[in-house]
Structure 1
């Protein structure tokens, strides 16, 4: 009889052999889904959000966000899974923005109270677009698929054991804090690095990324969870990493955009 551990190892090895890829920074990834599948999922999710959330009708605000987003996406190579980027501004106090596979960008008006100029907004949008370019959504789904399969097999292997509940509980906790959360931080740091290069290439000032995260820290009022238990690096870690990366950026000659809020 094949043990659960053996089966997990076999599944993991098969995935590594058949779905290995590298991110734009050279980091190893496991990618199980096609670009077209991810683009379709992203587009479907975006359409649902547009139906369920309030859209901003402020023409000046929309023009401003589109101006910054367009400057960023013009620096991105043409993508095989979609024709063009779509940008929507959601009327909400959330301090947030996102980009989905399929070229979908969403910005919440609450973000503009923290990202107070075009360079700071470009920091956020460069970061979010970088998530798409680095296939982070695909990567997370792929790892989730492998993890869930492994836990199901282990559950079956422990069937009838008096230690089943305790072992499965420990495995679940180990997966969350040993894989999911730290792995999320790795992706966030990678998106930060790619994002400031993208914004600098578009003509924005990468030094403003430091001020953005100072603003974020102030806006969070100390409510950010400890870095160990968060999918995002702490604000201070981000500032330190970005300060280091900015010093290594190439000197781009792109004219500075003039996006008016």
Structure 2
């Protein structure tokens, strides 16, 4: 059984790599768009049915406007860099949901939700573009499928250990150590890396869309103030710390503007 699991794992890893056009990195991905997108679209529709979607307001219209500009910018970058048709299966949709939660999210395939609770922190169209760029970037980089793939590997590792270890006491110790070790040592860093990738990709595409990437760090300063300093240590979190994000975004903003200039964008709102 142990040999079978190892063989399956090796085969899965051999065929599960996909290159991220925005980073040039080979990424772990067991789940093709043809599998991920229909599932995500169905879950998104169900979420909208169960929550209060805001329609027709200036804020809802702005969410759609900014989302469309960001998606168009992403497509321009992909076409210019040798990836035409990369977004052919995406079905972009942008909805504002009446909820005090300070959050926004994007499902695989381009299904996006903003909660009204994040609007006071975003403050204006450019702030919304910062958040939108980040969320769109998650979809562009297949982060959802990568997280599912990593979780699958984590589960395979647990099964392999339990099969290989015959002694009950030793197996119990393994399960405790493996659970904590794989979470803190692998899964959380994996998630933080995705957030950092999305910050950098999002900064680039918001600049191509004509929004000032220098405002990204300012938004995260407001996010930090809103949190009141209440956050777990970075190594125990799925996200980089606010200070890490602020420093990164400040450092990356000039390069994002330079990338936008390649597309004729020389002024930013």
After TM superposition, the score normalised by the length of structure 2 is 0.88
Aligned to 1:136: 143
Alignment of 1:25-40 (within 5 A): 25-40=23-38
Cα separation, 1, equivalents of 2:236 and 2:156: 24
Residue 225 in structure 1 maps to residue 227 in structure 2: no
**SS of equivalent residue, structure 1 residue 88:** strand
**Quick one: structure 1 residues 110 and 206, their matched pair in 2 at CA, closer, same or farther if it must change by over 3 Å?**
same
In 2, are the aligned partners of 1:127 and 1:195 still within 8 Å (CA)?
yes
**SS of equivalent residue, structure 2 residue 153:** helix
Aligned to 1:56: 54
Q: CA deviation at 1:254?
A: 3.7
Q: 2:12 aligns with which of 11, 15, 26?
A: 15
Cα separation, 2, equivalents of 1:256 and 1:71: 15
In 2, are the aligned partners of 1:227 and 1:234 still within 8 Å (CA)?
yes
Q: CA deviation at 1:80?
A: 2.6
In 2, are the aligned partners of 1:196 and 1:246 still within 8 Å (CA)?
yes
Alignment of 1:184-203 (within 5 A): 184-203=191-210
After TM superposition, the score normalised by the length of structure 1 is 0.91
Cα separation, 2, equivalents of 1:120 and 1:60: 15
In 1, are the aligned partners of 2:207 and 2:268 still within 8 Å (CA)?
no
Query: How many pairs are equivalent?
Result: 254
In 2, are the aligned partners of 1:201 and 1:254 still within 8 Å (CA)?
yes
Q: CA offsets per residue over residues 206-243 of structure 1, 9 Å max, x none?
A: 01101100000001111111101001000110111111
**Quick one: structure 1 residues 138 and 234, their matched pair in 2 at CA, closer, same or farther if it must change by over 3 Å?**
same
Q: 2:42 aligns with which of 41, 44, 47?
A: 44
Larger displacement relative to structure 2 (20-29 or 132-141): 20-29
Larger displacement relative to structure 2 (72-81 or 101-110): 72-81
In 2, are the aligned partners of 1:203 and 1:257 still within 8 Å (CA)?
yes
Cα separation, 1, equivalents of 2:126 and 2:266: 13
Cα separation, 2, equivalents of 1:133 and 1:30: 14
Cα separation, 2, equivalents of 1:206 and 1:222: 24
Q: CA deviation at 1:11?
A: 4.0
Q: Which ranges in structure 2 are unaligned for 5 or more consecutive residues?
A: 76-84
Alignment of 1:79-158 (within 5 A): 79-82=87-90, 84-158=91-165
Cα separation, 2, equivalents of 1:92 and 1:57: 14
Cα separation, 2, equivalents of 1:53 and 1:164: 44
Q: CA deviation at 1:85?
A: 1.0
